[in-house]
């Protein structure tokens, strides 16, 4: 996963996400917040740049005060390719499976993919 911090990249991502409304809305809000000063200490990750398949926003890892609080440990996701989302879930450290978390997104297949990976890891999903 690539961490986007460059203002020009964040603006470009905003434009791409605006073209995918309404499904990109949860991610777009966080990207806009990060691009405008990031008072909430979030980060924006993409699987590749500039031709991304998945955008994931989350609280910066150093800000995780309570690993059991899934309200604090929220992520938003938008993907162009469900397969890329499944690869990110199962094959990267972008999602911290050792702590409670909540995933927000508006696309079909998002929660089913999370459920399948959790089951494969022997984890309980609420």
Domain-located, residue 7: yes
Number of domains into which the chain is organized: 1
The predicted structure's pLDDT at residue 70: 67
Q: How far apart are CA 94 and CA 57, in angstroms?
A: 10
43 within domain boundaries: yes
| Torsion over CA: 107, 110, 111, 112 (sign) | positive
Q: How far apart are CA 33 and CA 110, in angstroms?
A: 23
User: Is position 32 within any domain?
Assistant: yes
Cα(69)–Cα(48) distance, integer angstroms: 29
Task: Calculate the dihedral angle through the C-alpha atoms of 31, 50, 107, 101, rounding to the nearest 10 degrees.
Answer: -50
Residue 96 counted as domain residue:
yes
Q: Does some domain include residue 21?
A: yes
126 part of a folded domain: no
Q: How confident is the model at residue 59 (pLDDT cuts 50, 70, 90)?
A: confident
Residue 92: inside a domain, yes or no? Answer: yes
| Cα 123 off chain centre by | 20
Does residue 92 surpass a pLDDT of 90? no
With respect to residue 22, please indicate whether it lies within any of the assigned structural domains.
Answer: yes
Identify the three-state secondary structure at position 58: strand
Amino acid 18: pLDDT: 97
Asked if the model's pLDDT at residue 52 lies above 90, the reply is: yes
- Domain of 104 in residue numbering reads as 2-121
At 1 the pLDDT is: 87
pLDDT at 64: 64
């Amino acid at each position: 996963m690539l961490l986007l911090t460059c203002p020009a990249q964040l603006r470009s991502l905003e434009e791409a996400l605006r073209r995918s409304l309404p499904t990109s809305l949860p991610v777009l809000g966080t990207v806009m917040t990060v691009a405008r000063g990031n008072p909430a200490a979030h980060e924006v990750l993409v699987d590749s740049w500039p031709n991304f398949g998945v955008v994931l926003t989350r609280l910066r890892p150093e800000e995780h005060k309570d690993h059991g609080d899934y309200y604090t440990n929220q992520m938003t996701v938008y993907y162009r390719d469900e397969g890329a989302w499944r690869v990110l879930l199962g094959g990267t450290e972008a999602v911290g499976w050792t702590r409670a978390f909540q995933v927000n997104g508006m696309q079909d297949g998002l929660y089913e993919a999370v459920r399948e990976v959790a089951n494969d890891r022997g984890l309980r999903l609420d």
